[in-house]
Structure 1
Amino acid sequence: MPYLHNYRLFISHAWSYSEKYQRAIKFINAAPNFIWTNFSVPVDKKFENMSRRALEEELCQQIRPIQCVVVLAGMYVAHSGWIQFEIDYAKSLNKPILGIIPWGAERTPASVKLAANKMVGWNAASIVSGIREITP
Structure 2
Amino acid sequence: MNVFISHSWAYSDHYERLAEWIFEEDWYVDEELIRFRNTSVPKDDPIHFAPTDAKLQSAIYERILVSNVVVIPTGMYANYSKWIGKEIAGAKLYSKPIVAVNPWSQKRSSSIVVQSATDLVAWNKQSIINSIWNTGK
Fold match (TM-score > 0.5): yes
Structure-2 residue corresponding to 1:25: 19
1:126 alignment partner in structure 2 = 127
Mark the runs of 5 or more structure 2 residues left unpaired by the alignment.
29-33
Count of residue correspondences: 130
What is the aligned-residue RMSD (CA, Å)? Answer: 1.7
Give the TM-score taking structure 1 as reference length.
0.86
- C-alpha distance in structure 2 between counterparts of 1:73 and 1:42, whole Å: 21
Counterpart of 2:75, as a letter, is G
User: In the alignment, what sits opposite 2:104?
Assistant: 103
Structure 1: which 5+ runs fail to align?
1-6
In the alignment, is the contact (CA less than 8 A) between 1:87 and 1:115 conserved in 2?
yes
Q: Which moved more, 1:54-63 or 1:31-40?
A: 31-40
Match of 1:10 in 2: 4
User: Within 2, Cα distance between the matches of 1:132 and 1:22?
Assistant: 20
* Letter matched to residue 70 of structure 1: V
User: 1:132, 1:16 → 2: CA distance?
Assistant: 24
- Structure 1 position 108, deviation (Å): 0.9
Aligned residue for 1:119, secondary structure, equals strand
Q: Provide the residue aligned with 1:79 in structure 2.
A: 80
The alpha-carbon deviation at position 81 of structure 1 amounts to 2.7
Q: Percent identity?
A: 33
Instruction: Find the residue that maps to 1:43 and give its secondary structure.
Output: coil
Determine helix, strand or coil for the equivalent of 2:71: strand
Distance 1:42 1:19 in 2: 15
1:1-34 per-residue CA deviation (whole Å, 9 max, x = no partner) reads xxxxxx1110012363432211111121346333
In the TM superposition, what whole-angstrom CA distance separates every residue of 1:80-101 from its partner, at most 9, and x where no partner exists?
Answer: 1321111112112211000010
SS, match of residue 90 in structure 2: helix
TM value normalised by structure 2: 0.85
> Which string of whole-angstrom CA distances, capped at 9 and with x for unpartnered residues, describes residues 34-83 of structure 1?
31110102323352243221111111111111110011222110111321
1:90 aligns to what?
91
